[in-house]
Structure 1
Amino acid sequence: MSADYVVHGDVAVITLNNPPVNGLGLATRTAAVDGLRRAQMDANVKAIVITGAGKAFSGGADIREFNSPKALTEPTLHTLIRTAEEAVKPVVAAIHSVCMGGGLELALGCHYRVALPGAQIALPEVKLGLLPGAGGTQRLPRALGLEPALKMIVTGNPVPSEKLPALFDEVYAAGTDLVAAAVAFAERIADVRPLPKVRERKVDHPDLEAFLRKTREEVLATSARFPAPAECVDTVAASATMPFEDGLKFERERFMHLMGTTESKALRHAFFAEREAAKVPDVPADTPQRRIAQAAVIGAGTMGGGIAMNFANAGIPVTVLETKQEALDAGIAKIRAVYEASVAKGKLTSEQLAQRIALITPTLRYEDVAQADIVVEAVFEEMAVKEAVFRKLDDVMKPGAILATNTSTLDVDRIAAFTRRPQDVIGTHFFSPAHVMKLLEIVRGKATGKDVLATTLALAKKLKKTGVVSGVCDGFIGNRMIEQYVRQAGFLLDEGCLPEQVDRAIEAFGFAMGPFRMGDLAGNDIGWAIRKRRQVEQPGMRYSKTADLLCEMGRFGQKTGAGWYDYPAGQRTPQPNAQVNDMIVAHSQALGIARRDIGDDEIVERLVYALVNEGARILEEGIALRASDIDMVYLTGYGFPLFRGGPMFYADTVGLPNVLAAIERFAAGRNGEAWQPAPLLARLAAAGKGFNSK
């Protein structure tokens, strides 16, 4: 059973009981309908209360059932709601904690609703590329009014129960025994007739057409890549222009249409991928974790300061260590400036700023970090510098402390070998700006303890990051793949493109930023240093020389006001530079390459398929646990368009045979050595499978 049934006096209480959020899967729906029918048949029962066990009323439909026979197996969610709505005895929804999606739609089908304050009320289906499909677009406007209902449905954002008085018959004081209060309420209204039904209310608006027109314009301006918000507007509009049953039918048609869109499939893929990323097959959920009550960061630069802010934001005291007072002072000042900017924007209060600054302790002494439970190294990306830091940490840190490195490319196993405690060493690759970016690449060394990995995954969640586990290789998942992407961008310059054309094409595809704008933001000198190291370690790896020539011109990006583009003082908008473009053309001539017109489709294919091909190698080598982990790295750390689901999911939507054919075509052309198809890609294409095939 997924619902409990008890009778209190003359009131039946049905408690949804499907942890963790009482999802309305088939078993729960069946038990709830059976409970409603049982109460109807019991002459001693005068009213019915529906509530939820644990930490939720109901989080909604079980989306794992989408596109499966279970979703259409009776009783469906529609049947459950209609059973409550058509009951001849009053049905009261007693809401606490979480009431979202199908859970709210069920509550709207009940005759009455009571709640505790602080319950999160939402119809978040739009965040999965869908719209509420069980009457939410028709009942919520009738309960709340058109404008507030449409805002909730289009944004999908939760609203506390106490801010929705029109939705509830009673909102109790915090700490109230909800079931007892709901039973008392049910007893009071048990004999009231007729039973109130939300569906019978009317939706009125003084200027419906003008409001809908303005809302459609706003939605198209902010959500042009996603069809669901516009569909939400049209479906909610039906609540004001159609009879209820017609509106319900229209809602179902639009829901089924959205279910089939690539955008919704991509969003649902990302939803599940984020949850799967936290699962490591040989590290079960009950793996013991180490206590993280105090943290330390080595380095107060841009990355170190951002990492320190993550800890402070999570309420974890953090000590920041630098080697020179001026660098330490500058780092702390930068942290304060970031917090002050948040206060100015209304994102933080002055009290919160003071609390967070108080959690950050600056120091020049290693002895002051010795008692930290975790220390994150964020120093210059050079092995000799890392070695000096880790040998010192090995000497001073208390037993059991986690020693983490923020390296973006270097060998974590080699770093661990600088210590006498390699089991305590792990990679925690934050992305810049570290206090903003959601991705945390967690690099598991060959000696990393399972408890260290479990603790770091839990810490990622506490820091509000998406933790993705990577094995050890040069560049891990994200930077190893981006290297091939950037290589192709360079070859495109040699063959006929200019930076602005490449960036424009890939940004039109949906990337947040093209490769040349990205280089200018990160600092072109960083890539230059990596290429110099590559030339020693992998002398056969070829690159376009344009990026090196750019750096030789002193154009390192935004930090110098000049990179692939110019950045006039105080501006971050890139301006093409004639000297840079002339350098690119001259370099092609020096190589003897006849420049050609390259279409945007070729640009996109070469950049994206370079990611896919390297991703396939990473997957086959076991560096990534699953294709969806690679997608999460790119969705949360590299600006890959969410509506395309990540590079591996996108390849599946294109069809791996088509991807392979394009790669083989590129392999036959200039720079073909960069296009050897990954064996896994070739095997899956031949078998008619995708990277995410079950």
Structure 2
Amino acid sequence: MPNDQPVRYDRHGEIAVITVANPPVNALGLAVRQGLWAAMDRFDADDARIAVIVGEGALFLGGADIREFGKPPVAPHLPDVCDRIEAAVKPVIAAVHGPALGGGCEVALGAHYRLAVTGARFGFPEVHLGLIPGAGGSQRMPRLTGVAPALEMMCSGAPISAPRALEIGLIDRVAEGDPRKAGIAYAGELLAEGAGVRRTGALPCPTHDAAAFAEARAAWAKKAKGQVAPLVAIDAVEAATRMDLAEGIKEERRLFLDLMQTPQRAGMIHAFFNDRKVSKLPELQGISPRPLDRIGVIGGGTMGAGIATACLLAGLPVTLIERDAASADKARATITGNLDAAVKRGKLKDAAATLSGLSTATDYAALSDVDLVIEAVFEDMGVKKEVFTQLDAVLKPGAILATNTSYLDVTEIAAATSRPQDVIGLHFFSPAHVMKLLEVVVPETTAKDVTATAFALAKRLKKTAVKAGVCDGFIGNRILATYRGAADRMILGGATPWEIDAAIKDFGLPMGPFEMGDLAGLDIGFMTRARKAATRDPRDIVPIWADEMYHKGWLGQKTGQGYYTYEGRKGTPNEAVMPLIETAREGRPQQAFTPEMIQRRYMAAMVNEAAKVVGEGIAARPLDVDVTLLYGYGFPRWRGGPMLWADTEGLPGLLADIQGWAKDDPYFWQPAPLLEQLVAEGRTFSDLNEATS
């Protein structure tokens, strides 16, 4: 085969070496599948005694080629390729390095022997796309490892290391160094031993344990609440205990194709592609970011310490400023705890070495050489302006000044400096070293290379960045305030906080709005309402029962009492809230709310406000809203995002509901002009994404 082909065939004495070279990730596209098939035909026909399949570049074989997603499959299909490798008349070794995930893992399972170099990883991430392995993985792996490891890998989607793969029997050997050399050496040993073919499919069915499968279904129904794919993966593995390989692969394929038609698969594919589109901004094409070698952080509370931790984990030295030495020591202790926790989770090897990148100070002059400063002080405009005035005086030319404000006007903050072009909003989500979302809030005065630097920082911190315009709450918190407002209106209309929380969790969110309020602290909501009081529209509704809870000192988990009463973190409904709610309801018509009614109003409020956010340009595209809600607010990934949910439900029906509710509450239920326009034109939010991609 010519050297410019994605699959090359060459000889090392009696050993055939089949090299997949399809950069950047050796994806299993049509050309690679065809090349592997041709290579196996050539291997069967020539006088080589054994073959080694190896990947060129950073990994063995990637999964499916995303360029083929949504297109009709073209033969040879991957299940047939894996069968063809297994059917070879002479031994075949898979020499694996880097990640062998999904189809790459299935190709390795089709080989007769498997070697992995240190650092290799094996896994079946298909569940994260609403699917299961579709090329024999659910049938071959249980024959090698038994049922339990197969269920864990296929239901969770989490990869395992080479040593773990060896321990469970997925592979035969772990080696060091170059995979081609290791594979050839292993092939030589097998030839010397006279080893023959060893087809995984010829192994006996693993033992069927009905109780174990029942336990797995119960566990994954709870862990992956609302998701279909993990439970279907269990069905596929169970088929391996009852059927021969050919029948099992046929059943796996049936299950796989059924999942291809589900809304959950569509939702997860939508999220998958949005992850790749969200940071691709036309206005930043060709714009180089500024250098980032040292970071400053102002404030060492929970948020500031989390931001500092995230930067340290990314290898960025941090200078943290606090008001006094005691506060600086407390911040250092918090960061130390964060790093120690990262070690325990296996995310970090050496906490002490990472912590060595932290310095603390009480004088802003210590920031004179940093490239970017992130302010994380009290959410008060006066305080923020004072901080930025001081930063403006000490930072070097070209340094970037960032505010972590959740709501405040970044343009106004920038005006407190002599360099508004260097000011940007970086809204982290708590805990900042764990949460993936970063809202990059860009005033009109901000230089493009500052925005490019913010996105480069997000990538270095392994966060998903979304560009947002300036308004109260930006994308996420503005929409949150609205759907929380819908929940408050349902309270006044007859629903209880606990009915609403239960319905929203049944929809797929991890917490309901009142549980979330208790977790964040009910003082936060009170202070937000107080901040907005002077400009509040008189037609708006204020949850006066929540104000009364604040005055009683019921602040949620931090005081042990809020909408729930707490023993530790476990909450039970606080019935003492109901008299406060009943007082607020006086004179208002009441109705019973079903879970479906609650979900519909909650989601309609979310989508309607999101449509306003997109229509005003605060979010550039509907996909920016979807990514924000997925990564910052726990929206279920298998639904794709609120905008995709709206498209799936049907925009005309949603608009009709909003118009109906507006008859009783015209202030709150004002239809978004963009929603009205899309319905009138027979278009969807997805159409807008396509138009801007």
* TM-score where L is the length of structure 2: 0.91
- 8 Å CA contact 1:534–1:541 kept in 2: the answer is no
Q: 1:663 to 1:18 in 2, by over 3 A?
A: farther
Question: Conserved in 1, the CA contact under 8 Å of 2:403 and 2:425?
Answer: yes
- The one-letter amino acid paired with 2:622 is A
Equivalences, count: 680
1:677 aligns with one of 652, 668, 671: 671
Alignment match, 1:465: 463
SS in 1 for 2:141: helix
SS in 2 for 1:680: helix
Pick closer, same or farther for the CA change 1:594–1:188 going to 2, 3 Å: closer
Partner residue of 1:196 out of 195, 198, 210: 198
Within 5 A, what are the aligned runs for 1:430-469?
430-469=428-467
- In the alignment, the residues of structure 2 paired with residue 548 and residue 416 of structure 1 have an alpha-carbon distance, to the nearest angstrom, of 33
Report the Cα distance in structure 1 between the residues aligned to 2:333 and 2:179, rounded to whole angstroms: 48
Q: Give the conservation status (yes or no) of the 8 Å contact 2:216–2:234.
A: yes
| Counterparts of residues 164-203 of structure 1 (less than 5 Å) | 164-165=165-166, 166-173=169-176, 175=177, 177-186=178-187, 189=190, 194-203=196-205
1:179 Cα deviation (Å)?
Answer: 1.7
Query: Does the 8 A contact of 1:409 with 1:479 survive in 2?
Result: yes
Q: Deviations over 1:304-331 (max 9, x none)?
A: 1221221223332222212234433443
Cα displacement (A) at 1:189: 5.0
**2:210 is matched by which residue type in structure 1?**
E
Check if 1:26 corresponds to 2:24: no
SS, match of residue 50 in structure 1: strand
Corresponding residue number in structure 1 for 2:127: 126
1:618-657, aligned counterparts within 5 Å?
618-657=613-652
Q: Secondary structure at the match of 1:672?
A: coil
Cα distance change, pair 348–3 in 1 and its aligned pair in 2 (3 A): closer
* Matches of 1:349 and 1:267, distance apart in 2: 26
| Number of the residue aligned with 2:300 | 300
Return the match for 2:597 from 573, 585, 602: 602
User: Matched residue of 2:373: which SS?
Assistant: strand
Given the superposition, is the C-alpha separation of residues 666 and 232 from structure 1 closer, same or farther in structure 2, using an over 3 Å criterion?
Answer: same
- Amino acid in structure 2 at the alignment position of 1:52: G
Correspondence for 2:264:
263
1:334–1:196 CA distance, 2 compared to 1 (3 A):
closer
2:309 and 2:339 in contact (8 A); partners too: no
What is the rounded CA distance, in whole Å, between the counterparts of 1:280 and 1:389 in structure 2? 31
Equivalent pair of 1:287/1:454 in contact (CA under 8 Å): yes
Question: What do the CA deviations read for 1:610-635 (whole angstroms, capped 9, x no partner)?
Answer: 11011112122222232222112112
Deviations along 1:82-114, whole A, 9 cap, x unmatched?
Answer: 332333444332211111110111121123333
1:489 maps to a residue whose letter is A
Question: Would you say the 8 A contact 2:225–2:508 is kept in 1?
Answer: no
> Is the counterpart of residue 551 in structure 1 residue 560 in structure 2?
no
Q: Percent identity?
A: 43
Distance 1:542-1:111 versus aligned 2 partners, 3 A rule? same
In 1: Cα distance, 2:348 partner to 2:56 partner: 38
**Residues 50-73 of structure 1: per-residue CA shift (max 9 Å, x gap):** 22221111121124534321xx21
* Change beyond 3 A, Cα 1:334–1:194: closer
Q: Report 1:136-535 matches (<5 A).
A: 136-165=137-166, 166-173=169-176, 175=177, 177-186=178-187, 189=190, 194-205=196-207, 208-284=209-285, 287-338=287-338, 346-347=344-345, 352-535=350-533
How many angstroms apart in 2 are the aligned matches of 1:473 and 1:2? 52
Partner of 2:64: 61
Q: Secondary structure at the match of 1:319?
A: strand
Query: Partner of 2:584: helix, strand, or coil?
Result: helix
Which residue identity does 1:426 align to in structure 2? I
CA distance in 2, matches of 1:436, 1:169: 36
* Superposed displacement of residue 252, structure 1: 0.5
Distance 1:34 1:544, change over 3 A: same
- Measured in 1, the distance between the counterparts of 2:284 and 2:686 equals 22
After TM superposition, the structure 1 stretch with the greater mean CA deviation from structure 2, 604-613 or 259-268, is 259-268
Q: CA deviation at 1:47?
A: 4.2
Give, in whole Å, the separation in 1 of the partners of 2:649 and 2:666: 22
**1: distance between equivalents of 2:348 and 2:307?**
21
Would the alpha carbon gap of residues 45 and 423 (structure 1) be closer, same or farther in structure 2, given more than 3 Å must change? Answer: farther
1:222-259 CA distance string (max 9 Å, x none): 23422222222221122221111111111001111122
Q: What's the counterpart of residue 563 of structure 1?
A: 562
Counterpart Cα distance in 1 of 2:56 and 2:663: 62
Matched, 1:588 2:585: yes
Q: Secondary structure at the match of 1:320?
A: strand
1:616–1:681: 8 Å Cα contact kept in structure 2? Answer: yes
- CA drift at 1:368: 1.2
After superposition, what is the alpha-carbon deviation per residue over 1:373-413, rounded to whole angstroms, capped at 9, x for unaligned?
Answer: 22110111122111111111111112232211101111222
- Relative to 1, partners in 2 of residues 1:531 and 1:150: Cα closer, same or farther, differing over 3 Å? closer
In structure 1, the gaps of 5 or more residues are none
Distance 1:39 1:623 in 2: 58
CA distance change for structure 1 residues 471 and 32 in 2, over 3 Å: closer, same or farther? farther
Deviations 1:202-238 (A, max 9, x none): 1343x63333333333333323422222222221122
How far apart are residue 416 of structure 1 and its match? Answer: 2.0
Q: Is the 8 A contact 2:116 2:171 kept in 1?
A: yes
How has the CA–CA distance of structure 1 residues 571 and 242 changed in structure 2, closer, same or farther, with 3 Å as cutoff?
closer
CA pair 209-496 structure 1, distance change in 2 beyond 3 A: closer
- Pick closer, same or farther for the CA change 1:351–1:80 going to 2, 3 Å: closer
**Aligned CA distance change for structure 1 residues 385 and 586 (closer, same or farther; 3 Å):** same
Q: Using the alignment, how far apart are the partners of 1:312 and 1:75 within structure 2?
A: 47
Following the alignment from structure 1 to structure 2, what is the Cα–Cα distance between the partners of residues 300 and 567? 28
> Offset at 1:137?
0.7
Other structure's SS at 1:597 match: coil
On the 8 A contact 2:8/2:21 being kept in 1, the answer is no
Task: Kindly indicate whether the alpha-carbon contact (under 8 Å) linking 2:437 and 2:465 is maintained by their aligned counterparts in 1.
Answer: yes
Superposed displacement of residue 445, structure 1: 2.3
Counterpart position of 1:117:
118
